Amino acid sequence: MESESKKNLAIIAVLAIIIIGIIGVFILREYKLNEEKKNATNSKIEDKQENKEEKNNSKNEKEKETVDNIDYVKLGKEALEKPKKGETIAIINVKNFGEIKLKFYKEEAPKAVENFLTHAKNGYYNGQIFHRVINEFMIQGGDPTGTGTGGESIWKEAFGKEVSLKRFPFRGSLAMASVSGVEKSLGSQFFITQAKYNEQIYNQLKLANAPESILKAYKEYGGYPSLFLQYTVFGQVYEGMDVVDKIAAVETNEANDKPKTDVVIENIVVKEAE
């Protein structure tokens, strides 16, 4: 297994690129929106009221699409709240470890949620293992072969990512595993982020000019910033992070991060929150 220092260096390198990219996207959107407003001002528009409404809609859309206008501290707090009565939840029963309780983000990641819940209801994950475990990063499962190379979606074909600016990968986030650079690679594999707050990563976020809201949220709720907008976050652990931490702490093989003793998913129960 790589040393902690090497892992942190790798994290920082990727992190800086990603955050700068996010800010770059924001700046580009800002520029385009400003240009559109200038063009609208110079053109002849008969219905001024309609033009005003269009500008307001453009402004509202802009606010929805930028990291600067999202309250990540609020989202982090909401992520840890228990689901409302009647909401769909899932309970992962892990042999000899306990229960991991999940809630879902159907609005932002409808296909990922449907895929996971359907697999769970059909017993697809029963008896599978968490085949990849890295302490202070994540635990990964959902592969019937237990190798990290298998699994398929309920549609028998891979599907694309569903990323959202609202779904920062906080500690306890449930996300879909995917292949880097492949447009459609999501199947059945999933992972749960386990990383706590790391001061070194926080300092790199500051250097990358990350929005204040993200800085505060990361400091309070932890997570893995380099995954932001790179992976589909479709749910959150709201109870059972102690179980996730115990799994993350098991002894693993250096070559592939596979636990030396199988960590088995007995079943995943889907039900309505009470």
Single-letter code of the amino acid located at 46? E
Q: How many CA atoms lie within 13 A of 6 on its CB side?
A: 3
pLDDT of residue 48: 46
Cβ–Cβ < 8 Å for 200, 216: no
Residue 148 has pLDDT above 70, yes or no: yes
d(CA 24, CA 47): 35
Using one digit for the tens of pLDDT, what is the confidence trace for 26-73? 444 444 444 444 444 444 444 445 554 555 554 455 445 689 999 999
Instruction: Please report where in the chains the tokens 């017993």 appear, as a residue.
Output: 123
Q: What is the pLDDT averaged over residues 218-232?
A: 98
Range of lowest pLDDT (43-52, 109-118, 129-138): 43-52
Residue 110 has pLDDT above 50, yes or no: yes
pLDDT of residue 231: 98
pLDDT of residue 15: 52
Residue 245 has pLDDT above 70, yes or no: yes
What is the separation of C-alpha 254 from the centre of its chain, rounded to a whole number of angstroms?
26
pTM as predicted: 0.79
Using one digit for the tens of pLDDT, what is the confidence trace for 68-93? 999 999 999 999 999 999 999 999 99
Cβ–Cβ < 8 Å for 199, 221: no
Cβ–Cβ < 8 Å for 186, 112: yes
Using one digit for the tens of pLDDT, what is the confidence trace for 152-211? 999 999 999 999 999 999 999 999 999 999 999 999 999 999 999 999 999 999 999 999
Average confidence score pLDDT of the chain = 86
pLDDT of residue 260: 98
pLDDT of residue 10: 47
Using one digit for the tens of pLDDT, what is the confidence trace for 256-266? 999 999 999 99
**How many Cβ atoms sit within 10 Å of the Cβ of residue 260?**
8
d(CA 156, CA 99): 29
pLDDT of residue 46: 44
Q: What is the pLDDT averaged over residues 122-134?
A: 99
d(CA 255, CA 258): 8
